[in-house]
Amino acid sequence: MNESMTITLPVGALEGTAAVFSTWLVEEGDHVRKGDPILELETDKVSMEVCAENDGFIRKILATSGDNVDEKTILGYLNCGEQSELDKVSVDKSSSPVANDASKNVAVAKCDVADDGSKRHLIGPAVRKLLRKHNLNLSSIDGSGKGGRVTRDDILAFIDTRADEDKSHSNTSIPAEKSHGLKSKLVPHTSMRKKIANHMVDSLLHTSPHVTSVFEMDMGRIIEHRKLCKMGFEEAGVKLTFTAYFLAASAKAMQKVPVVNSRFHDDCLEIFEDINIGVGTALGDDGLIVPVVKQVQEKNLFEIASALQQQTDKARQGKLAAADMRDGTFTISNHGVSGSLFATPIIINQPQVAILGIGKLEKRAVVEEVNGEDIIVIRPKCYVSLSIDHRALDAYQTNLFLSHFVEVIENWGTSKTN
């Protein structure tokens, strides 16, 4: 009894949006088991694998690299049937009688019988990213994984070995692929990088007129609060970062100035009830992704810190799903962690209307009045900025939001902010 099923994206994988097909991890005629990764695709924020939903043989491959796909797109066909039908797949792959006999030996009557073939063609996004970044050929790398599958550690070990060899040939130069008189090399853009570039240009030049306001903020109270709570959080398995405080303060400020948590339409401003805050997370040279912590207004500091840790950990491990980056209503860019004092404008993450920027924390000499006298004291300070879509917000709402945000941070734990 022959059964052929279509290969499509799992329902809900993209939440109805489109993605770009990247590559097949299998070939026509390959035997796969339920849960085996069979293809890879990319959105503007994440690279993800799609796994086989049933045991079977890949009967037909339709999608090709660069195709725009969604959950309705038929990517190929999976065959789960009787031996006579599976033999046809093998016959299509080779006209050699010897090859046909070998294929018949591998083909089985039922799809739930394990294959004993190599798994080298099954590679994940992290491995593929390293192969592209270092211009490596998979066939030259030994795999330590099941069935000879090449793992991330195999790639890193190979890179280290090659680096040692390169040191012994210091007089050898690698010609540039395209020099125009200067030594250089071309690094092809990934689909993620292309989509980020388009998203940034569209936001700044084609969609939103950006305006930025900058305030200075004293971090003394949350530094002290974090010292008191950090160990308790860690004992519960949660890392307490300053970013968690920024999410909490943003939610409190947005409850005072709800229009900041909105989306601009030609005929109205859509103000959201839930405050879903995205946090910009850098992936080195590979780009920037924005995992979202949802319903921040319903969470206390511990719950915010826990949810934030889960999302950022998944981001850095390449395990984010499309749903982890959907439905954001506001974004925070904590650019100060890399040493930046302030950045302007920070490009708005469309279709939101504002993005908060947090600069480097540093000790500054400031003048304070004590007992009627001005004295110079050292305080932990940073700049905080809000870049806004001037179609939706004006200076009044922008500065009011920042005033409330700064007030929450500077008075953390007092009755004034409770």
Tell me the domain boundaries of the chain: 3-166, 200-410
Q: Hey, is 385 helix, strand or coil?
A: strand
Residues 208 and 389: their CA atoms lie apart, in Å, by: 5
Mean pLDDT by 10 residues, the chain (418 residues): 79 67 85 84 71 88 86 88 45 41 33 47 67 78 73 76 57 47 73 74 84 96 95 95 97 96 91 95 80 96 96 86 89 91 87 95 93 94 96 94 97 74
- pLDDT score recorded for residue 101: 40
User: Greatest CA separation found in the chain?
Assistant: 100
Paired tokens of 157: 């070990």
Q: List Cβ neighbours of 242 (8 Å cut-off, separation of 6 or more).
A: 219, 222, 226, 334, 358, 361
**Residue holding tokens 């090709």?**
64
Beta carbons of 3 and 80 less than 8 angstroms apart: yes
Question: At 98, which helix (H) or strand (E)?
Answer: helix 97-106
Fold of 200-410: Chloramphenicol Acetyltransferase (3.30.559)
Q: What are the angstrom distances between the C-alpha of 179 and each of 189, 190, 265? A: 18, 21, 47
Class of domain 3-166: mainly beta
The pLDDT of residue 108 is 29
Which tokens go with 91?
């016959």
Specify the pairing of strand 330-333 against strand 354-358: parallel
Question: How would you classify residue 341: left for phi > 0, otherwise alpha for psi between -120 and 50, otherwise beta?
Answer: alpha
- What's the confidence (pLDDT) of residue 178? 52
* Residue showing tokens 């700064």: 406
Whole-number Å distance between alpha carbons of 398 and 366: 25
Question: What is the pLDDT at residue 105?
Answer: 33
pLDDT of residue 172: 44
Q: Which residues, 6+ apart, have CB-to-CB distance to 273 below 8 Å?
A: none
Q: What is the pLDDT of residue 363?
A: 95
Alpha-helix runs per DSSP H in 140-211: 152-167, 191-201
> Which among 366, 320, 322, 328 is positioned nearest to 348, based on CA atoms?
328
Residue listed under structure tokens 């879509």: 389
Q: Decide if 355 contacts 184 (C-beta within 8 A).
A: no
Q: Do domains 3-166 and 200-410 have the same CATH topology?
A: no
Pick from 25, 21, 81: which is nearest to 57 by CA? Answer: 81
Please report the pLDDT score of residue 418 as a whole number: 53
301-316 vs 220-235: helix axis angle to the nearest 10? 70
3-class DSSP assignment, residue 93: helix
Neighbours of 105 (CB within 10 A): 9
The pTM for the full model equals 0.61
Q: Is 316 helix (H, G, I), strand (E, B) or coil?
A: helix
> Amino acid letter at 101?
D
Active site residues: 390, 394
In whole angstroms, give the CA distance from residue 311 to residue 325.
Answer: 9
DSSP state letter for 352: B
Task: Give all strands of the β-sheet with 68-69 in edge-to-edge order.
Answer: 47-51, 37-42, 19-24, 68-69
